[in-house]
Chain A
Amino acid sequence: MVQAPKATTVDDGQFAATRWTIVRAAGDSQIASNHAGAALSELCHIYWRPLYLYLRREGFGLEDAQDLTQGFFAELIRDRSYRRADRQKGRFRSFLLGALKHFVANSRESAQRQKRGGGLIRELFDDRIVSELEAQVQSTQQWSASTLFDREWAAALLHQTLDRLAQECALAGKSPLFEELRAHLAGTNDEGVAYDEISRRLQRSAVTLRSDMGRLRTRYRALLREEVRGTVTELAEVDDELRYLCQVIAQS
């Protein structure tokens, strides 16, 4: 039995088995490996865009960048290279970029840059996504490849968080409410929130809306921290990772 938390704060410890820690903890047992593979594959589906954009900014062409991205993930998951001790250190973000650089260097040397994704990530690159990403490559030329990578990482993190929140709201039958309040969830006060207008549109009292806002903001923050927690090894690193990403964005 677990002791009741005395404090009023959220006990982040409950998210101890995060995706990245599962990947790192995987030993030789087959079940643990399968589990780790699934966790890694989930992470890759959330965070492939930063890697692709990194490669584009580094000068790889469309086709090459796509092949390298999917080849990289395929090898990462198949060869379980993430289990090598020297690769297990640090945060998932740094690990992934480091592993990609390593993979690209090896692919260059052996001139083995053939298509080898085998459909794993292939479906991600449909025409719409590719042109969307191209527009992004063009409009963000002021950023270096690693800045673009970090910014894109932050965007993927926030997308994932907001998607989860949207899903939770949809389950509770609150999608219209979420859509109205979404833009203000990062805020800490009610400045600029048109409660009266929203109240008319949703037929919901402004008093209730204010309390909805409070709950959604709290939930957003919790989900964001949970997502970050999934990419670091220690609970204490969540703040550092958030601060790091904030800093990159503030300075870019």
Chain B
Amino acid sequence: MSFSPPSGVVCAKCSARVETTASADFGCLACWLQAGLEESSQVAAEEHEQVPKSLGSYFILKQPDGSPWALGRGAMGVTYRAEDVSLRRPVALKLINADFAQHGAGARERFVREARAAASLRHPNVATVYQFGIDEETGQCFCAMELIEGETLDERVPSRGKSRPRFWSRRSRASSIAT
């Protein structure tokens, strides 16, 4: 544009001018916006690397392109198509974006309580919750549910009266709060 160059610095990454103002004090605006356009393979790949291959006996299945098979995304986390390798049945495995493991046994108890409450809700289009668990190493909470084809998983609420979900932990430490 035809205006005199501003006093700001130039972004090393995208070479847009960075002007720090009261309402834009977080660096290069162009880069922050650009991130919203990154469906780029690099970001996707990074995200995929962070999805564990398995949790307990659940193996997350892959798409033909090698990416984890996500079924839906919600505020609490992403749900993947997975297989229970011990029972040889397909499951919907929800990885929950909460960090209960980092907040001690109290937080984990709360998680289990909330999970149980969710499991006791009634809903016409129900999915059975098979199991809740935490990977003690990474703090990843998950929830394995019955896989019902043709539905948005986040619409599903676990049902009452089906088998009571088990609680799994990679190490036995958490088992005391499971029952």
CB under 8 Å from chain A, chain B span 20-59: 21-24, 26-40, 42-43, 46-47, 49-50
Closest to A220 in B: B35
Q: Are A158 and B33 in touch, CB under 8 angstroms?
A: yes
> Mask for A149-162, Cβ within 8 A of B = 1, else 0?
00110111111001
A251 CB–B CB distance under 8 Å: yes
Cα A96 to Cα B33 in complex, Å, equals 21
> Given contacts A204-B102, A242-B37, is CB(A158)–CB(B50) below 8 Å?
no
> Given contacts A1-B151, A4-B72, A152-B23, is CB(A242)–CB(B29) below 8 Å?
no
Closest to A157 in B: B33
Q: Which of A20-28, A85-93, A136-144 is near enough to bind chain B?
A: A136-144
Closest to B38 in A: A188
Cα A221 to Cα B32 in complex, Å, equals 9
A218 CB–B CB distance under 8 Å: yes
B114 CB–A CB distance under 8 Å: no
**What band does the interface of chain B fall in when counting residues whose beta carbon is under 8 Å from A?**
35 or more
CB under 8 Å from chain B, chain A span 156-205: 156-159, 162, 168, 172-174, 182-183, 185-189, 204
B164 CB–A CB distance under 8 Å: no
Cα A73 to Cα B27 in complex, Å, equals 30
Cα A144 to Cα B2 in complex, Å, equals 10
Contact of A8 among B27, B67, B75 (CB under 8 A): B67
Shortest CB–CB separation between residue B109 and chain A, in angstroms? 15
Shortest CB–CB separation between residue A91 and chain B, in angstroms? 15
CB under 8 Å from chain A, chain B span 118-145: 125, 138-139
Give the dominant DSSP class at A's interface.
helix
Q: Are B16 and A1 in touch, CB under 8 angstroms?
A: no
B residues near A228, Cβ cutoff 8 Å: 36
Q: Which 9 interchain pairs have the tightest Cβ spacing? A: A224-B36, A155-B24, A132-B22, A214-B50, A142-B3, A211-B50, A249-B30, A2-B152, A186-B35
A81 CB–B CB distance under 8 Å: no
> Given contacts A8-B69, A158-B33, is CB(A208)–CB(B5) below 8 Å?
no
Shortest CB–CB separation between residue B136 and chain A, in angstroms? 12
A10 CB–B CB distance under 8 Å: yes
Contact of A136 among B22, B43, B98, B153 (CB under 8 A): B22
Cα A6 to Cα B85 in complex, Å, equals 22
Cα A210 to Cα B9 in complex, Å, equals 29
> Given contacts A8-B70, A140-B6, is CB(A183)–CB(B27) below 8 Å?
yes
Shortest CB–CB separation between residue B48 and chain A, in angstroms? 9
Closest to A203 in B: B102
B158 CB–A CB distance under 8 Å: no
Cα A58 to Cα B49 in complex, Å, equals 50
> Given contacts A4-B72, A208-B138, A246-B34, is CB(A139)–CB(B29) below 8 Å?
no
Write the residues of chain B forming the contact surface with A, with a CB cutoff of 8 angstroms. Answer: 1, 3-7, 14-17, 19, 21-24, 26-40, 42-43, 46-47, 49-50, 63, 67-73, 75, 97-99, 102-103, 107, 125, 138-139, 149-153, 155
> Given contacts A1-B125, A243-B37, is CB(A159)–CB(B50) below 8 Å?
no
A97 CB–B CB distance under 8 Å: no
Cα A5 to Cα B4 in complex, Å, equals 50
Shortest CB–CB separation between residue A95 and chain B, in angstroms? 20
Q: Are B139 and A208 in touch, CB under 8 angstroms?
A: yes
B residues near A9, Cβ cutoff 8 Å: 39
Q: Are B29 and A174 in touch, CB under 8 angstroms?
A: no
Q: Are A142 and B46 in touch, CB under 8 angstroms?
A: no
Q: Are B39 and A246 in touch, CB under 8 angstroms?
A: no
Cα A187 to Cα B109 in complex, Å, equals 35
> Given contacts A214-B47, A251-B1, is CB(A133)–CB(B70) below 8 Å?
no
